[in-house]
Structure 1
Amino acid sequence: MAKIQELTWICYVKTIKRLHEEVYSRVQEDATGVYREIDIYVGTKPGDVLPEDIEERMAEFVVWLNEWEKKEDITLVTAEAHLKLARIHPFEDGNGRMCRLLVNFLLVRNGLHAVELDEKFRDDYNGMFDNGDFANYASQIASLINPE
């Protein structure tokens, strides 16, 4: 189990919005760094968070993320952060990329190597979303971090 290092970085909602803006500014100029105003599907299921609730849910997510140093296992924190952000699905496009960026930031920040979340992982991940099966998600992240 990898221990989480002392936190010297604090995440803000504006940080996530700005990162989305930077990542998507050349792809989709009009919707970068802006929360979605439409209902969405995550996989084949309707999204959990309505557009009018995104701001509040993102604020809650950032509070949770900034308290992660109190948790023990970076694998579990990383998996949970990915799932929490994916379930909020704050942007019209680019949520998957934002989640993968967050996963790798948290790993590298804690002295681990970045991981490639390849097509097979994405297919498995989408299947977990469709089936609501998150029980094995942390172990899948762990297997990418510590392949045996």
Structure 2
Amino acid sequence: MKYLLKTARESKALKTRELAQLLGIDQALISKFESGTRKPTKEQILKLATALDINYETLMVAWLKEKILYEIGDDALALKALKEAEEEIKYNRSVTNNIISNALQSVLDQIDVLKIKLDQFRQFDSFRIAQALELEYTFESNRIEGNTLTLRETDLVINEGLTISGKSMREHLEAINHQEAIAYIKHLMEKNTTLNEREVLSIHNLILRGINPDDAGRYRKVQVMIKGSTYMPPQPYMVSKEMEDFYIWYETHKNNLHPVVLAAEMHERLVTIHPFIDGNGRTSRLVMNLILLQHGYVIANIKGDYDSRMQYYQSLETAQTQNNKEDFLLFIAQIEKQSLERYIGIIGQ
């Protein structure tokens, strides 16, 4: 692993001091990582992979291999122990990854068929259709959070630059900011940028820009409660560590879960950490849709009407308080299925 780190750093023309600054650690640690006298932590592995553009899985495997060899050396029973450990790891992964129920798998199968059809119609994509659907997404996502602008008013604010009488400045900014955040996730999708802390903070910064500038793009420093929910988010001192685990989970699972399940999981995990003072719901839905767009799907637009909102909140509550994500994963899969059907129906006419 030490050679991998040094080669990657030198290929990017970075000095150890510059890499240390990017990672927020002491320069001496970088030298020790590269000489093999010190091993990075799991959290540092993620940061190193991101900073040096090294495949996370490649770096993690190298790190685990060295960790295993350091612990067991060339003990005569090492190979037998490794064989038994392999069987136990396989068993544990089969248990922890068993999140796909028959009902969810059925919806995912239907989504897979729709995705094939979508790919066949991609040549008929239209900027105006995309613009209209993105406007609807902004309207619905803000409506979930209590914004009272109608769809027509949202259009006038965003596309005509008009001010709506009787509506607050915050509601106007929520519409403008959300539309810009959609443009930003589409930019990330086109660049094929991997999901990381910088991008999530940038999305949140756009959501709260001009509304709450002191907290825009920053993790919360106080405890919060979720209105209407019995779930209590983690204490503020835990947020940074929870978010580190959030990105590690993504890197670990991004290649072995169905994209719709991956997107839903990242939505639920982010909103459960509730890392921000405000804007957690909108940011979580944007992160979910960034992942969907990166995998060639369409925006999953959760409606803001009472029934849809209650089903959304109740499935989240079940995931957060009962450690049962089935309802939420199924809810998001059904929303994506409906969004695909509508999109194909429009461009396929």
Indicate the TM-score class for this superposition, using the shorter chain for normalisation.
0.7 to 0.9
Q: Distance in 2 between matches of 1:34 and 1:127?
A: 28
* Equivalent position of 2:223 in the other structure: 39
1:15 to 193, 199, 202: 199
Residue 121 of structure 1 pairs with residue 281 of structure 2: no
Greater helix proportion? 2
Residue 141 of structure 1, CA deviation: 1.1
Residue 46 of structure 1, CA deviation: 4.3
Q: Distance in 2 between matches of 1:11 and 1:129?
A: 22
* Equivalent position of 2:212 in the other structure: 28
What SS does the aligned partner of 2:329 have?
Answer: helix
After superposition, the C-alpha distances for 1:67-96 in whole angstroms (9 at most, x for unaligned) are 333223112111111110011000000000
* Equivalent position of 1:67 in the other structure: 252
Q: Is the 8 A contact 1:37 1:51 kept in 2?
A: yes
Q: Is the 8 A contact 1:115 1:144 kept in 2?
A: yes
What SS does the aligned partner of 1:29 have?
Answer: coil
Q: Distance in 2 between matches of 1:129 and 1:137?
A: 6
1:134 to 309, 325, 328: 325
Q: Is the 8 A contact 1:86 1:99 kept in 2?
A: yes
Identity rate, percent? 24
Residue 112 of structure 1, CA deviation: 0.6
| Paired residue type of 1:62 | Y
What SS does the aligned partner of 1:41 have?
Answer: coil
* Equivalent position of 2:266 in the other structure: 81
Q: Is the 8 A contact 2:200 2:287 kept in 1?
A: no
TM-score (norm 1): 0.85
Residue 51 of structure 1, CA deviation: 0.3
Structure 2 residue ranges without an equivalent (≥5):
1-107, 116-191, 342-349
What SS does the aligned partner of 1:114 have?
Answer: coil
**With CA pairs under 8 Å and 6+ residues apart, which has the higher RCO, 1 or 2?**
1
27-36 or 91-100: which moved more?
27-36
* Equivalent position of 2:243 in the other structure: 58
> Highest Rg: 1 or 2?
2
Q: Distance in 1 between matches of 2:239 and 2:279?
A: 15
| Paired residue type of 1:21 | N
Residue 45 of structure 1, CA deviation: 2.0
Q: Distance in 2 between matches of 1:82 and 1:114?
A: 13
Q: Distance in 2 between matches of 1:24 and 1:125?
A: 23
Q: Is the 8 A contact 2:223 2:235 kept in 1?
A: yes
Residue 36 of structure 1, CA deviation: 1.0
* Equivalent position of 2:179 in the other structure: none
Q: Distance in 1 between matches of 2:244 and 2:285?
A: 20
| Paired residue type of 2:193 | W
Q: Is the 8 A contact 1:10 1:66 kept in 2?
A: no
Structure 1 residue ranges without an equivalent (≥5):
none
Residue 145 of structure 1 pairs with residue 336 of structure 2: yes
| Paired residue type of 2:273 | I
The root-mean-square deviation of aligned C-alpha atoms, in Å, is 2.1
Q: How many residues are aligned here?
A: 144
Q: Is the 8 A contact 1:49 1:88 kept in 2?
A: yes
Q: Is the 8 A contact 1:47 1:89 kept in 2?
A: no
Q: Distance in 1 between matches of 2:243 and 2:311?
A: 25
Q: Is the 8 A contact 1:39 1:47 kept in 2?
A: no
* Equivalent position of 1:49 in the other structure: 234
| Paired residue type of 2:211 | V
